[in-house]
Structures are given as C-alpha cells and as structure tokens.
Amino acid sequence: MKPTGTVGYAAMFEQFHPTELLGWCKQAEESGFGSVMASDHFHPWTPNQGQSAFVWSWMGALGATTNLRFGTGVTPPGFRYHPAIIAQGAATLEAMYPGRFWLGLGAGEALNEHVVGDYWPEAPTRLRILMEA
C-alpha cells in the first residue's frame, strides 16, 4: 500500500540564519520533502540561539526558490500582528504561489507576543481573540 501525504521540513528561525535555512529547504526539496513549516517567533527560545528572522519576508524568498508547499507553524492574530495584516500577507503569498501557501494560526505565548508591553491575557481570552480574528 502506497503511503499518502508528504513529509515536511521544519524551518526553525531561532536556531539558524535565514539564508542557511533557505539552503536547507532547497536540500529538503531535493531529498523528497514536500513542504516546509516555518516558525514565527519574535525571540529565540534561549540566549544561545541568538536570532529569530521575520518569517513573512523569508516565506516570499522560499516560494521564489523552491516548489515546496509552505506556511507558518503558528501565527497568532491580535497581538504582534493585527488580523488584517496577517490576512494581507497570506493573500499576497497565495496570489504569488497559488496552492502552495497555508496559514497556521494559534493563540500565541508571552515570549513572542508580549513584545510591546501591553497586558498579556490568560489562555481563554487569547483563544477567544483567535476565534474572533
């Protein structure tokens, strides 16, 4: 029985330079991977990771240099990004790379979303905001 689906590659911006990740995604495609899930974090998880590139710019480069399907692991609307900005970015990538982009949405966590000093709501409130967006 032939397996269904594809195996995807995880591009983790907290750990690697965005140019390096782009090269690895090209290698992943050449090795048979069918998709890339890209992390959307403002901060690295630990001080030794030291970086976290802007995923939306990088996905445009990925789409232009591979034929992979791609999208965000989780992008939380309503905090760091207004839902309208996410919609515009998603629509742009879908228009440029039809059928290849997906949008992963989630409620977020304080490390990455509480970057402007506003009140950080409890999980039930964040989930409500996610559903409204």
- Whether 41 is a known active-site residue: answer yes
Could you say which of 14, 82, 94, 109 is catalytic? 109
**Spatial contact of 101 and 59, defined as CB atoms under 8 Å apart:** yes
Q: Within 10 Å of residue 133's Cβ, how many Cβ atoms?
A: 16
DSSP assigned state of 42: S
**Spatial contact of 130 and 78, defined as CB atoms under 8 Å apart:** yes
Query: Which two structure tokens, joined as six digits, stand for 79?
Result: 């905090």
Could you say which of 41, 43, 82, 94 is catalytic? 41
How far apart (Å, rounded) are the C-alpha atoms in residues 55 and 42?
A: 9
Site of tokens 């140019």: 19
DSSP assigned state of 58: H
- Whether 109 is a known active-site residue: answer yes
Q: Which residues are catalytic?
A: 41, 109
